[in-house]
Amino acid sequence: MSDNILKIRDLDVFAGETQVLRDVDLTIHPGEVHILLGPNGSGKSSLLQAIMGVPPFRVTKGDIRLNGRSICDLTPDQRAALGFGMAYQKPPEIDGVTLTALAHVMRADATFATEAAALDMADFAQREVNVGFSGGEIKRWEVLKLFLQNPQFLLFDEPESGVDLEHIAAVGAAIERLARSRTANGAKRAALVITHTGFILDYVKADTAHMMVDGRIIATGDPKEMFEQVKSNGYHAA
């Protein structure tokens, strides 16, 4: 067994004919929470979606490994089965499918009942997935969804954007609680979190931050220091 959960090496990714990631290297160990900063269009969401295997992103060079196993040839459901889970930034609406029905298909009825209350979503049980949700409701559902899925490696794409102040503490606390908990098999989890505002850092204790610009990771360091640097100097390596 490898001692790192996620290891990305020398990764190039294309969306159609456009290259979106170049020479990305990233290693995340068990129990760690990393954050990813960068301007709009820098490739942050592309990296998360490439890890999850979501179209249209395709790896043309390098490798992504989970617990030592290459996953580049796997479909999203196979990656999910190995332990990946992703909270989307802009998830699609699934008409006619209620949260309850989806939790049932995921065999997570009991977890839904307990965790929905923690995220103030108990009243959403019969709502259709993401249909008519506000920006904040989408983010709360996307976090709740990961509790149902119970993955070992958590990917969060801007989990705090659009969330009102009343709920951001609940979302942050839920992410921290999930990231610091262990899987059903007793394994430590790890997480990669994209954030623009940094609000989430008030609730989630991040270990490392990475700055992404033009599809490359150009700096790695302490999360709070890096955020202060971005606030004063913009997205430039120190």
Partner 1 sequence: MNIQITQSPLSDAEKTTLSKVGYVAESERAATVVIADQEVRHISINDDQVEILPIAEALKKYVWVQELYFGLIDVNEAEEVQHLARSADTPVGHFIRVKAGAKLEQPIQSFCLLETPQVRQVLHNITVIEEGAQASVISGSSVADGVHTGQHTCLCETYLRERARCESLSIEQWAKDVDVMSYDRADVAKSAHCSSNKVMVSPVRNHCSRTSTTVGEDATAKDQSIVFAPQGTTRMMEGEIHLRGERAHAESLTRMVTAGGTIGNNAMLVGEADDTEGFLGCDGLKLTSDGEILSVPALRALSEKSQLSHEASVGMVSEEKLAYLESLGLTEDSANELIVQGFLNLKEQEMPAPVRETVKDMISAAKSGSM
| Binding stretches for partner 1 (CB under 8 A) | 52-55, 75-77, 79-81, 84-86, 88, 91-92, 94-97, 101-102, 105-106, 128, 145, 148-149
Closest separation in Å from C-beta 149 to partner 1: 6
Structure-token pair, residue 5: 């959960």
HSE-CB at 214 with a 13 A cutoff on CA atoms is: 3
Task: Report the nearest approach of partner 1 to the CB of residue 56 (Å).
Answer: 9
| Residue 27 identity (one-letter amino acid) | T
Supply the minimum distance, in Å, between the C-beta of residue 24 and partner 1. Answer: 20
Distance CA 145, CA 65 (A): 24
Q: Of 79 and 210, which has the nearer Cβ to partner 1?
A: 79
Give the shortest CB-55-to-partner 1 separation in angstroms: 6
Q: Which is nearer to partner 1, 106 or 170 (CB)?
A: 106
Amino acid at 182: R
Q: Are strands 190-194 and 18-28 parallel, antiparallel or unpaired?
A: unpaired
Q: Residue for token digits 């301007």?
A: 39
Reading across the β-sheet that carries 84-87, which strands appear in turn?
84-87, 153-157, 190-194, 33-37, 208-213, 216-221
Residue among 89 and 208 whose Cβ is closer to partner 1? 89
**C-beta of 232: minimal distance to partner 1 in Å?**
37
2, 67 contact by CB (below 8 A): yes
H/E stretch holding 77 reads helix 76-82
Residue closer to partner 1, measured from CB, 178 or 230: 178
Exposed, middle or buried by CB within 10 Å (0-12, 13-18, 19+), for 212? buried
> Residue 2 or residue 149: which is nearer to partner 1 going by CB?
149
Shortest Å, Cβ 78 to partner 1: 9
**Which C-beta is closer to partner 1: that of 27 or that of 150?**
150
User: How far does Cα 170 stand from its chain's mean position?
Assistant: 17
